[in-house]
């Protein structure tokens, strides 16, 4: 826990017990200023802004390179130090149930909003005029995935394979097995447990160093987005973007807010508590950049290391609320834009297929877009080529898609910690102030 506290103190720009630094040296302020500067540069000097892309890519790669180590160390030490191993199975089962209920609710909400707002109506697109080649690469990666395929994918080819590929779910499986083995061996494994714990301290020390580059990474990623696609590109598809952004905000405030209220904490206080992570995700359009610091903040709030290590990594595969909202809304948009009438049965088919495809493409670049192509392929009447309409604005959609995914997993962790009685209501409220 000391490692987590030190890392978190470093992210805030202070050391434990030291006086507060000026506001301009606080990380979230630096990230916010970087985003504002990036938007200005992208608007005024698009060519130069596009050239900033390597800054964003480098930061994302720096963070993702260490995520698997963080998850492995956290899960192993958490399970190995847990007195009641039955708790691991109980937490895992409750987490999967929670994930399925909330993500399915998100799919339903996306379907409802798509039918009420009709974001694609009025386009009257002729499919023959669309650039089919732009979607071809994604279509090649998308395919119908059975439950067996999905479960088999969780099992890695070798022990080291997930660490080189960055497959989070496979790392979790290895870490759980390793943690259980160390817990079963007992005192004889103490030396190895201490070694992994020491590695955890070192890993979070690296996180502390990497987060100092967050403003630079946020600047590069946001400058590229605005410079490459331009604010003007939002115009033709403003209804879809606006509807998705508003639906995402309402989902966070209303749905996740209600869940948070039932668990005994305020969603607004929690959002303020993870302000740095929110800005990072919006700037980089990647929820993975927030994993290390999100996990450390949740532990500081009182969640156990084992619970955080189980819920956050599995949540990034099974609890993709933002992706769920996007998939059903975007599917209806393509159908409406190409004047394709969908019956209630066809819409429910899309919903049923999306329950699996929203999780099956996790960990793949452009996963949400690929998953949507795979979903649309099930309904032959919807032209998959229609996906070319939203390919150009997908970066703007992915900002809020990733944001909802990240916040949803943070809320899920606190809710499960409350169910496990790891957190008292009053303690949680005080820590969120």
| CA-closest candidate to residue 224, choices 427, 396, 408 | 396
For 217, the domain range is 2-431
Average pLDDT, the chain: 80
Q: Pick the residue with more confidence: 422 or 252?
A: 252
pLDDT band per the 50, 70, 90 thresholds, residue 129: low
User: What pLDDT is recorded for position 413?
Assistant: 93
Q: Identify the DSSP state of 147.
A: H
State the Cα–Cα distance between residues 78 and 91, nearest whole angstrom: 13
Q: How far is CA 258 from CA 55, 134, 265, 309, 336, in A?
A: 38, 40, 10, 25, 32
- Between CA 381 and CA 372 the distance in angstroms is 15
**Which whole number is the average pLDDT over 378-384?**
76
Query: Cβ neighbours of residue 107 under 8 Å, at least 6 residues apart?
Result: 324, 325, 327, 328, 351, 354, 355, 358
d(CA 63, CA 66): 6
Of 278, 381, 281, 376, nearest to 339 (Cα)? Answer: 381
Concatenated DSSP letters of 225-283:
HHHHHTGGGGSTTHHHHHHHHHHHHHIIIIIIHHHHHHHTS-HHHHHHHTHHHHHHHHH
Contact in structure between 193 and 78 (CB atoms under 8 Å) = no
What is the share, in percent, of the chain residues with pLDDT greater than 90?
A: 14
pLDDT at 433: 65
Q: What pLDDT, on the 0 to 100 scale, is given for residue 427? A: 78
Pair of tokens at residue 146: 């059975």
Instruction: Look at the chain and count its residues.
Output: 433
Task: Give yes or no for residue 10 having a pLDDT over 60.
Answer: no
Average pLDDT estimate for 285-302: 85
- Scanning 81-189, the segments in alpha helix (DSSP H) are 86-117, 133-141, 147-154, 161-165, 168-185
How many CB atoms sit inside 10 A of residue 348's CB?
Answer: 12
Does residue 9 have a pLDDT over 50?
A: no
The sign of the torsion formed by the CA atoms of 181, 185, 190, 192 equals: negative
Q: Is the pLDDT of residue 336 over 60?
A: yes
pLDDT confidence band for 21 (50 / 70 / 90): low
Cβ proximity of 218 and 56 under 8 Å: yes
Q: What pLDDT is attached to residue 82?
A: 67
The whole-number pLDDT of residue 268 equals: 93
- What pLDDT band is residue 8 in, cutting at 50, 70 and 90? very low
The number of C-alpha atoms within 13 Å of 227 and in the hemisphere containing its C-beta is 22
Whether the pLDDT of residue 187 is over 60: the answer is yes
Mean pLDDT of 216-239: 78
Mean pLDDT across 318-328: 87
Instruction: Enter the tokens of residue 352.
Output: 């049923």
d(CA 124, CA 40): 35
Mean pLDDT, residues 260-289 taken together: 88
Give CA–CA dist 135/124, Å, rounded.
Answer: 19
Q: Report in angstroms the alpha-carbon separations of 273 from 63, 206, 433.
A: 20, 22, 8
In this predicted structure, what is the pLDDT of residue 252?
Answer: 95
Q: How far apart, in Å, are the Cα atoms of 411 and each of 92, 315, 319? A: 16, 11, 11
State how far the Cα of 353 lies from the Cα of 371, in Å rounded to an integer. 10
Greater confidence (105 vs 56) lies with 105
Q: 11, 3 in Cβ contact below 8 A?
A: no
CATH for 33: 1.10.3860.10
- Helix then strand count (H, E) for the chain reads 23, 0
**pLDDT average, residue stretch 419-424:** 83
pLDDT value at position 24? 67
Enter the tokens of residue 423: 């957190």
Q: Are 79 and 179 in contact (CB under 8 A)?
A: yes
- On whether the CB atoms of residues 358 and 371 are closer than 8 A, the answer is yes
The total domain count for the chain is 1
* Of residues 246 and 65, more confidently modeled: 246
CA distance 294 to 288: 10
H-run or E-run covering 389: helix 388-391
Q: Confidence class of residue 130 from pLDDT cuts 50, 70 and 90?
A: low
Residue matched to tokens 């005080």: 430
Read off the pLDDT of each residue in 351-355 and give the average, rounded to a whole number.
Answer: 83
Whether pLDDT at 18 is above 70:
no
For residue range 79-128, list pLDDT tens digits in order. Answer: 876 666 677 778 888 988 999 999 999 999 999 999 998 888 877 766 66
Per-residue pLDDT at 106: 93
The set of long-range contacts for 178-183, using a CB threshold of 8 Å and a minimum separation of 24, is 178/72, 178/76, 179/75, 179/76, 179/77, 179/78, 179/79, 179/80, 179/88, 179/306, 180/79, 180/85, 180/88, 182/76, 182/79, 182/80, 183/79, 183/80, 183/81, 183/82, 183/85
């Amino acid at each position: 826990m000391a490692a987590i506290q030190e890392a978190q103190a470093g992210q805030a720009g202070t050391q434990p017990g030291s006086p507060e630094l000026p506001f301009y040296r606080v990380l979230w302020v630096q990230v916010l200023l970087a985003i504002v500067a990036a938007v200005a540069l992208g608007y005024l000097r698009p060519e130069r802004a596009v050239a900033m892309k390597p800054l964003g890519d480098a930061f994302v790669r720096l963070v993702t390179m260490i995520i698997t180590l963080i998850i492995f160390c956290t899960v192993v030490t958490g399970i190995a130090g847990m007195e009641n191993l039955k708790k691991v199975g109980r937490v895992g089962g409750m987490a999967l149930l929670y994930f399925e209920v909330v993500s399915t609710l998100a799919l339903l909400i996306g379907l409802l909003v798509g039918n009420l707002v009709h974001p694609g109506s009025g386009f009257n697109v002729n499919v023959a005029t669309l650039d089919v080649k732009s979607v071809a690469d994604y279509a090649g990666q998308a395919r119908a995935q059975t439950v067996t395929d999905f479960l088999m994918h969780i099992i890695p080819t070798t022990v080291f394979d997930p660490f080189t590929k960055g497959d989070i779910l496979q790392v979790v499986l290895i870490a759980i097995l390793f943690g259980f083995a160390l817990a079963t061996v007992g005192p004889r494994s103490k030396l190895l447990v201490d070694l992994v714990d020491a590695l955890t301290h070192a890993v979070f020390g690296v996180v502390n160093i990497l987060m100092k580059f967050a403003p630079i990474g946020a600047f590069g990623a946001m400058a590229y987005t605005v410079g490459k696609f331009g604010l003007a590109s939002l115009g033709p598809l403003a209804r879809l973007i606006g509807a998705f952004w508003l639906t995402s905000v309402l989902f966070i405030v209303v749905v996740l807010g209600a869940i948070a209220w039932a668990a005994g904490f305020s969603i607004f206080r929690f959002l303020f508590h993870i302000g740095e992570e929110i800005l990072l995700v919006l700037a980089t359009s990647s929820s993975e950049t927030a994993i290390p610091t999100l996990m450390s903040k949740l532990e500081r709030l009182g969640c156990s290391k084992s619970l955080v290590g189980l819920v956050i990594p599995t949540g990034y595969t099974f609890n993709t609320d933002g992706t769920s909202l996007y998939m059903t809304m975007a599917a209806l948009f393509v159908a409406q834009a190409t004047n394709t009438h969908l019956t209630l049965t066809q819409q429910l088919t899309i919903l049923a297929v999306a329950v699996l495809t929203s999780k099956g493409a996790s960990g793949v670049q452009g996963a949400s877009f690929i998953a949507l192509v795979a979903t649309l392929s099930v309904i032959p009447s919807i032209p998959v080529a229609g996906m070319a309409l939203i390919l150009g604005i997908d970066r703007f959609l992915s900002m809020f898609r990733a944001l909802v995914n990240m916040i949803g997993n943070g809320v899920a962790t606190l809710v499960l910690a409350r169910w496990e009685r790891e957190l008292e209501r009053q303690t949680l409220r005080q820590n969120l102030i």
